[in-house]
Structure 1
Amino acid sequence: MPSLRQLQYLVAIEDTLHFGRAADSVHVTQPTLSQQIKELELRLGSKLVERGRPVRLTPIGRDIAARARNVLRDISEIRLIAERSKDGMAGTIRFGVSPTIGPYLMPFAVVRLHKDYPQLKLYVREGLPSDQFAELRNGTLDMMLAPLPVTGSELHIEPLFQERLHLIGAPDHALFGKETLEYSDFTGEPVLSLDRRHPLHLQAYQICEKMNADIQRDYEGTSLDSLRQMAGSGLGMAILPELYLRSETGGEGMVKRFDIKGWSEKRSIAAIWREGTAFADTYAAIAEVVATEAREILA
């Protein structure tokens, strides 16, 4: 019979279509993962993986991976049930969060959660939403916090709050001297963004299209801090979220917000967990605490 680890490796390959990235996602070396997949194929007597570029699962491999996901989810929930006390809100929740949200909201939410539910523990992991959706589906994460839109029939999506986005630039930018600013004033202006794997990049691109601004492909930031610092140096403008600008980590010490007529750009944040999970009530309670804390900060 296949082992749980072998099933986990097969699911990781389907999620990443790459042996190296699959190995990284399950925290083993690539040779170990490759060897275990070969052993799984021998045990089952079927070819499961087409080794090419990109790596793909065979039709049989896809069928087995789909069933493996269900097995891994059930095992994950069995572990959680064992950890959970009779009081309900206890145990360790594996919580994924986008790096454009987590550092500027979760410290406050964690304090409130610990006060309200002292037996509940959060294992918080920052990561790209696209990567964490795969971890949520295969049971590596229990719930996550990410910007909308999110799709997936197997996911429960709980919208929590909306957060304004702001265009910022170096305080000595010439446009700050103009009495009234409109979208058209930013035609051709350079705007910096995170790399394309971040949902915030897509929003920045869409906003730049409205302004006819020029999103910079050669100077993509690795974090909101790097965007703010590059903007503060005069390299270009940037679009940053309200929670970041209000945080001690971020702030507006080196940049200034543009006050643009008709500007109403925002993003929506949601909590996501697997549909039908046995712990939906726990995840909903955590989500409500996070939403309450966000609304208080943004009020």
Structure 2
Amino acid sequence: MLPDGKSPSFNQIRYFVTVAKHLNFRRAAHSLGVSQPTLTSQISTLEATLGLTLFERSRSGTLLSAHGHALLQYAENILKSHLSFQEMARNLSDGENTMYRLGIPPTLGPYLLPHILPDIHALKPNLKFYVREAAPNQLMHGLLTGEYDLILSPISQNNSQIQSQPLFFEPLKFVMASDHPLAGRDYVKPEALLGQQVLTLEDRHHFHHQVQEICLRLGANVARDYEGTSLDTLRQMVVMGMGVAFLPGLYIHSELHKPEALHVCELADMPIVRQHVLAWRNTSPARTFFRELSGLMRDIISQRLHEAVTVTESAPS
């Protein structure tokens, strides 16, 4: 601890470096825009605070003392760090020059982000995302605790601490093996699902609960003994004839390049969709930028994925 228990002020450190540069109090005071008595007083206070003599003063001029030489580089580093801090703060003030921690479900991220991130990067090259995948409930918890800066997720709950903007509706397609009795039709009547074995993901996924609600409504059976760990494993189980399933539209759009082994259709007069939103804490300093970002995402999704999803209108401010 310093002798008087105090710490030097930033201005005192700046004054010290300026006097060390000029080795003349009059010229240093002019450079700093302060009076010479003020500068002299501040240097004396700094020396008293440190318990050190920083300058040797004589009729022939001013010189750095041995202690002054030892501290000068550290003082200059403080000024450089302060300047870097100010520059970074200015860059961050528009929201476009930083890295944000983005959370997204594994049933969405791999099938959406490759379509939108290149365009976002082209428009905002200094904007970066550190992407982490987790189930929607975990994403919401992580957003509230500060683990994520923003999340892209299905609507799962309302919370007064969260702001969100709708992005798009994604259809859930009905799929079955190509040799299944219901295969070959563009639309299947909902009553045809009565008694069908419907495969789905593990119950930690929001997607599981949506499919479960559909099955309860239509009298289908959720195959709890054969839950998939991913959309890819779910797809493979359907191809092997273990049951039928619902798969997200973006997954089908991105992954089913050779759909011969799988038949994709929809339920007649019963469109099934899930809505995705971009959400952030309402106390986030970047909340205005996040709202602008949601609009940019909607525009890109509308251009790139209009065949697979339906873009929604923004919520009122």
* Mapping for residues 266-281 of structure 1, pairs under 5 Å: 266-281=273-288
Contact 2:95–2:286 (CA<8 Å) still a contact in 1? no
1:47-196 mapped onto 2 (5 Å cutoff): 82=89, 84-85=91-92, 87-176=94-183, 181-196=188-203
Paired letter, 2:238: A
SS at match of 2:224: coil
Identity fraction in percent: 33
Bigger drift between 116-125 and 245-254 goes to: 245-254
Distance 1:251 1:223, change over 3 A: farther
Summarize deviations over 1:153-202 as a string: whole Å, max 9, x none. Answer: 11112111101111100010012267973111111100011111111111
- Note the C-alpha offset of 1:258: 3.1
For 1:259 and 1:135, the matched residues in 2 are separated by 35
Tell me, yes or no, if structure 1 residue 245 matches structure 2 residue 272.
Answer: no
Judge conservation of contact 2:102–2:131 (CA < 8 Å) in 1: yes
Q: 1:228 aligns with which of 231, 235, 252?
A: 235
TM-superposed CA distance for 1:279, in Å, is 0.3
Residues 87 and 180 of structure 1, relative CA distance in 2, 3 Å threshold: closer
Q: Structure 2: how far apart are the matches of 1:192 and 1:251?
A: 21
Shift of 1:250: 7.2
Note the alpha carbon deviations across 1:131-171, whole angstroms, 9 max, x for none. Answer: 12121111111000001133211111211110111110001
Paired residues, number: 220
Give the distance between the partners of 2:120 and 2:185, measured in 1 at CA: 45
Aligned residue among 292, 306, 314 for 1:298:
306
Q: Which residue of 2 aligns with 1:197?
A: 204
Query: Is 1:254 matched with 2:252?
Result: no
Superposition RMSD in Å: 2.2
Deviation at 1:263, TM superposition (A): 2.5
Task: Tell me how far apart the structure 2 counterparts of residues 151 and 98 of structure 1 sit (CA, whole Å).
Answer: 18
Moved more, 285-294 or 137-146: 285-294
Q: How far does residue 249 in structure 1 lie from its aligned partner after superposition?
A: 6.7
Output the CA distance in 1 between the equivalents of 2:248 and 2:187. 22
- Distance apart, 1:259 and its partner CA: 4.0
Gap regions ≥5 residues in structure 1: 1-77
- In the alignment, what sits opposite 1:8? none
Matches within 5 A, 1:4-19: none
Corresponding position of 1:286: 293
The CA deviation at 1:86 is 5.2
Report the Cα distance in structure 2 between the residues aligned to 1:83 and 1:238, rounded to whole angstroms: 51
What is the CA deviation profile of residues 21-42 of structure 1, one whole-angstrom value per residue up to 9, with x for unaligned ones?
xxxxxxxxxxxxxxxxxxxxxx
For residue 13 of structure 2, what is the aligned residue in structure 1?
A: none
Mark the CA change 1:252 to 1:128 in structure 2 (over 3 Å): closer, same or farther. same
CA contact (8 A) 1:183 1:210 kept: no
Contact 1:96/1:143, CA 8 A, preserved across alignment: yes
> Which structure is larger by alpha-carbon Rg, 1 or 2?
2
CA contact (8 A) 2:137 2:156 kept: no
The 4+ residue runs of structure 1 with deviation greater than 6 A are: none
Once the two structures are superposed, residues 9-53 of structure 1 have per-residue CA deviations (whole angstroms, 9 ceiling, x without a partner) of: xxxxxxxxxxxxxxxxxxxxxxxxxxxxxxxxxxxxxxxxxxxxx
* Preserved CA contact (<8 Å) 1:104 1:244: yes
- Does the residue aligned with 1:122 lie in a helix, a strand or coil? strand
Cα distance in 1 for partners of 2:90, 2:260 equals 45
Distance 1:89 1:153, change over 3 A: same
For 2:73, the equivalent position in structure 1 comes to none
Displacement of 1:293 after TM fit? 2.9
Once the two structures are TM-superposed, the CA of residue 277 in structure 1 deviates from its matched residue by: 1.5
Give the Cα separation in 1 of the matches to 2:130 and 2:289. Answer: 15
> TM-score, structure 2 length as denominator?
0.65
Q: In 2, distance between residues paired with 1:146 and 1:251?
A: 28
